[in-house]
Amino acid sequence: MDGRRCVRAALAEPALLPAGPVWVAAVGKAAASMAQGAREALGGRLAHTLVITRDADSCAALAGHPEVEVMIGGHPVPDERSLACGARLLEWTQALPAAACPLFLISGGASALAEVLVPGVGLADLRSFTQDALRSGVDIAGLNARRIALSQLKGGRLAAQLRGRPALALFISDVPGDAPALIGSGLMGPAPQGEDRVVRRVLAGIADAVAAVAEAGSALGLAVHAPPRRFDDGAVRLAARFAHELMLQPAQLCVWGGESTVTLPEHPGRGGRNQHLALAAARLLAGHAQLLLLAAGTDGSDGVTDSAGALVDADTCARIALAGLDADTCLAGADAARALSASGDLVHTGPTGTNVGDLVLGLKLTPAAAQALGPLRGGPAARML
């Protein structure tokens, strides 16, 4: 699912872009890796690259190239940087040279990272709307649909700025159905009216990630259960479903892909939807020494934390209790990061170069393997990763 690899492979097709200098605008959590893939594929044809992303560290490979312009936006809640990024993206699109071949590289996170608001809506309104939506547990598709109404870029409005000139848009999707009209709230979706000559191609989505994990598990000799349907329910309900499915399935490895939701209390603690799901599942894994469950964001982040998620086992809740905390209390307060940090179960990867949603993996050890492993006193994440 790596953006660098996906874009490089896509641009290996010579007919995809017409001859001439290529101007690239990459927006989203995977923007830097996608832009790097374009550099490797296009070489000297690449005249200018605008990268708008969340993590400055992810742009290290692009440093030192004078034709590369990097801007950092706010995420998950937009801020002043997001408005500056949006203004620059709009200016960049409107000022494309006549001879340039525009290439847009869009991935999840673009919705918050770049914005130009409609008249009458200010940054405070946008931030309040976003925070309320995140607290209410609205799913990604619903949130993006609401964002479109506030924006002069989203819902195909950026594509409309091309005024019918040909362009190519490549996407890494984190939304249900992988529709360009919803990825990044439709930042490069079809123009709402008028001529649209943008060629759009989705390079990767959660189904591809699930299939890749299933293939890797099979190659290790594991029996794999990987249902095709994307999950999209509350984190606690999904935790119960996944834990029971793992217990009842004859498969050794279960793989699910999608995005859960969490409705936050008035004063939430620290965490993210994957940590919340993992902590809820840990309560059900207690006493089942052969079971482990990983819930993680494919982008390497979860909520407003620097963790990708968590890897929990039968002793997670016991380790939390030994640290003087209570799993149920932390769940009720949306404070999963505190509990899972104490138990040693948080997973840290850093930016991964992609963003196709979340993965949940359940592993069922044989009785002999579970006995040989023994209690993981430092937590499975601390010991295995």
Last residue of a domain, one of 184, 204, 224: 204
**Domain identity same for 37 and 121:** yes
Per DSSP, the residues of 226-284 read --SSPB-SBHHHHHHHHHHHHHH-S-SEEEEEE--B----SS--S--HHHHHHHHHHHH
What's the confidence (pLDDT) of residue 208? Answer: 97
**Domain identity same for 56 and 168:** yes
- The 10 Å Cβ neighbour count of residue 280 is 26
**Domain identity same for 18 and 118:** yes
Q: Is 46 left (phi over 0), alpha (psi -120 to 50) or beta?
A: beta
**Domain identity same for 71 and 184:** yes
At 89, the amino acid letter reads L
| Three-state DSSP state, 363 | strand
Give pLDDT < 70 ranges for the chain. Answer: 374-378, 380-385
Q: Count up the domains in the chain and report the number.
A: 2
What's the confidence (pLDDT) of residue 371? Answer: 75
Say how far apart CA 147 and CA 108 lie, in whole Å.
14
**Domain identity same for 215 and 326:** yes
**Domain identity same for 176 and 296:** no
**Domain identity same for 346 and 252:** yes
Bridge partner list, 51: 26, 70
- The whole domain housing 273 covers 207-384
What's the confidence (pLDDT) of residue 381? Answer: 60
Last residue of a domain, one of 179, 204, 229: 204
What's the confidence (pLDDT) of residue 233? Answer: 94
Say how far apart CA 185 and CA 201 lie, in whole Å.
16
What's the confidence (pLDDT) of residue 172? Answer: 98
**Domain identity same for 246 and 187:** no
What's the confidence (pLDDT) of residue 115? Answer: 95
- Domain of 244, CATH number, reads 3.40.1480.10
Say how far apart CA 281 and CA 362 lie, in whole Å.
10
What's the confidence (pLDDT) of residue 383? Answer: 54
What's the confidence (pLDDT) of residue 384? Answer: 54
Query: Is the pTM value of this prediction over 0.75?
Result: yes
Last residue of a domain, one of 172, 204, 236: 204
**Domain identity same for 288 and 324:** yes
**Domain identity same for 185 and 212:** no
Say how far apart CA 334 and CA 133 lie, in whole Å.
16
- Domain of 184, CATH number, reads 3.40.50.10180
**Domain identity same for 151 and 255:** no
**Domain identity same for 161 and 273:** no
